Amino acid sequence: MKVVCQRDALLEALQVVNTAVVTRTPKPALQCVLVEAEGKNLTLVATDLQVGIRYGLEHVEVQSPGKGLIPADRFLAIVRECPDKTLTLAVDGDTCRIDTSDSHFTLNTSDVESFPTVPESDGPDGFKITAGTLRSTIHRTLFAAARESSRYAINGVLWAPEGKTLLMVATDGRRLAQVRAPLLAGASEITAIVPVKTMTLLDRCLAETDQEVAICFQENRIVAKLPRVTLSSTLVEGTFPKYQEVVPHDTTMKVQLKTEALLSALRRAALLTTENSQGVCLQFSKQRLVLTGRAAETGEGTVALAIEYPYDDLAMGFNPHYLLEALRVVGTEDISLELKAANTPALVRSGEDFLYVVMPVSLS
């Protein structure tokens, strides 16, 4: 195999596929990138057996087609430090040679037959969505997913296509985010739980564009086909919590708030909280919201907002970080905060497609 390619394009591809490379493993093939040259294309592939990424480079000069399994860390380091606009990559037997105008590197390669198969084709049970819409949907749900939990099913985000709408839900047991996003083409109603790591890698591959992304589910895997990248991953096994039962439907108070004003007030009220005292008290009264954060070892801070609140006085405690994370991703100038009592969940709504449930905390 011998190819001449643009250094910047190759570097971008390596940075993407390296996110699926295993750094410590008894299987040397998983520490490598599979390079495949054919026709006018160069494809880079990496996998950790859970997630696989295929990245296609076009407009390369393929002087000789073939394959090579190249150590990922050294490969990336060499290309990153290369000062030239182009470089030549050649694989012959068990060695890989990388040539630039003033440098030459030879790397030992591994047997391509030892590299596991990474799915690349789509299936019949799929749907299509724009890259920008999918990225926004990921941003507005992923933050609420559990990172470490004995309840394995919540270490991922639920995907539930419904006709021409995609429903995503994430929860860590203390808050829940739910988003509905429009699809370009509908799908059969197959639900799946996509791991947090896969969601993070998919987000890195997406851009805020109208480019089409095809999603399909194959047995226990998800395959996402982007213009240059195909990402596949195993799914989370288990049963996702009954999220419909978590969303409160009996709230009695509804408050309209400016997103940026509440975000600023929460940040300031949380300045004097500590790891042991992370709660911020929200005190609602006629035409006024006062946010108070205090800790015995630091002091107390209060921030007041003018609001329209025609109900009885109410005081509730929240972990400010849970509210801040939601407010950063809602994407609207205003949010609706729906309440019932000091010891019941609060519901945040943004537009018609985003809702967020957060449990109160005790401040005593």
pLDDT in tens, 182-236: 999 876 678 999 999 999 999 988 887 889 999 998 888 999 999 899 999 999 9
* Contact present, 198 and 51 (Cβ < 8 Å): yes
Region 20-46 average pLDDT: 93
Residue 46 has pLDDT above 90, yes or no: yes
For position 189, what pLDDT does the model report? Answer: 75
Q: CATH number of the domain at 126-244, please?
A: 3.10.150.10
For position 162, what pLDDT does the model report? Answer: 87
**With pLDDT > 90 as the criterion, what percentage of the chain qualifies?**
79
Q: Is pLDDT larger for residue 6 or for residue 275? A: 6
Average pLDDT of the chain?
92
Q: Single out the residue of 360, 318, 364 nearest to residue 343, CA to CA.
A: 360
* Contact present, 91 and 66 (Cβ < 8 Å): yes
pLDDT in tens, 147-177: 876 677 889 999 999 889 999 999 999 999 9
For the ranges 3-17, 181-195, 243-257, 305-319, the lowest mean pLDDT is seen at 181-195
61-64, strands of its sheet edge to edge: 61-64, 2-6, 86-92, 95-99, 104-108
Q: Which residues contact 312 (CB under 8 A, 6 or more apart)?
A: none
* Contact present, 240 and 179 (Cβ < 8 Å): no
Fold match between 2-114 and 247-358?
yes
pLDDT in tens, 91-132: 998 999 999 999 999 999 999 999 998 877 656 668 999 999
Would you kindly state where each structural domain of the chain is located, as residue ranges? 2-114, 126-244, 247-358
* Contact present, 314 and 339 (Cβ < 8 Å): yes
Q: Does domain 247-358 have CATH number 3.10.150.10?
A: yes
Residue 297 has pLDDT above 90, yes or no: no
Q: Does domain 2-114 have CATH number 3.10.150.10?
A: yes
Q: Which residues contact 222 (CB under 8 A, 6 or more apart)?
A: 159, 192, 194, 198, 215, 216, 232, 233, 235
